Amino acid sequence: MNKRFVKIGEAAELLGVSIETMRRWEKSGELVPDRKTRGGTRYYEIGKLLNAENNDYPTICYARVSSHDQKQDLDRQQELLEAYCAAKGWRTQTIRDLGSGMNYRNKGLQKLLEMILQKKMKRLVLTTKDRLLRFGSELIFSLCELQGIEIVIIHKGEQPSFEEELATDVLEIITIFSARLYGSRSKKNRKLMESLQQEADKIYERLEKSKKI
């Protein structure tokens, strides 16, 4: 039977990863092309790719922050996750989200859920539990357990206090309401958002004072 080969773009699409990930796997020796022309064109045998897909699913690193001004923290999360997995020798793929932990429609989260339901991953790695969702993460963990997907949380230390969680939740609610009310010019909406922001600021001020005592 003749073997069928595909180029790197088709191979990446077949495995559900990016071309950059394919090249990284080649450098690490995890998945090398079966043929490579002098011009650098890579060819992969479909049979081997399907076998790799079925038996060697990647470890998924999930990183999330709530707002654009936290992008540096998002980058740090990704670096920590990938360094941790590299030390374990795990083949990884990183999913990033920039959005509220109370938003179940974040694109990255939707992609993660799809991979869990299709059992396209070996394990899920998070820096902390709340990076996944503010509420409902236990349900996703249960889905992973049913699918035989391992859960790894790097930092399981001291959890935030009730007041800290409340302050974070209030700010995330404000973010959601702001997005939904954006474009509305009514004074009533503006006053509502200003009031919510003031209450959130008060909570943070009390938290900062309590930490200094």
**3-state SS record for 11-70:** HHHHHCCCHHHHHHHHHHCCCCCCEECCCCCEEEEHHHHHHHHHHCCCEEEEEEECCHHH
Catalytic residue among 66, 100, 137, 178: 66
- What would the mean pLDDT of 87-95 be, rounded to a whole number? 87
pTM of structure = 0.56
- Residues with Cβ within 8 Å of residue 11, at least 6 apart in sequence: 22, 42, 44, 49
Classify residue 81 by burial, with Cβ atoms within 10 Å: 0-12, 13-18, 19+: buried
Of the candidates 150, 77, 69, the one whose C-alpha atom is nearest the C-alpha of residue 108 is: 77
DSSP 60-110: EEEEEESSGGGHHHHHHHHHHHHHHHHHHT--EEEEEEES-TT-TT-HHHH
- What would the mean pLDDT of 90-117 be, rounded to a whole number? 88
- What would the mean pLDDT of 101-118 be, rounded to a whole number? 88
What amino acid occupies position 151?
I
Question: Other C-beta atoms within 10 Å of 25: how many?
Answer: 20
More confident residue, 148 or 50: 148
Question: Other C-beta atoms within 10 Å of 11: how many?
Answer: 24
Rounded to 5°, angle at Cα 82 from 76 and 88:
140
3-state secondary structure at position 201: helix
Q: What integer pLDDT is reported at residue 205 of this predicted model?
A: 64
What amino acid occupies position 112?
L
pLDDT in tens, 157-202: 555 555 555 566 566 666 555 555 555 555 666 666 666 666 666 6
> 125 with 84: CB under 8 angstroms?
yes
> 41 with 7: CB under 8 angstroms?
yes
Q: Would you call 66 a catalytic residue per the annotation?
A: yes
Q: What integer pLDDT is reported at residue 78 of this predicted model?
A: 93
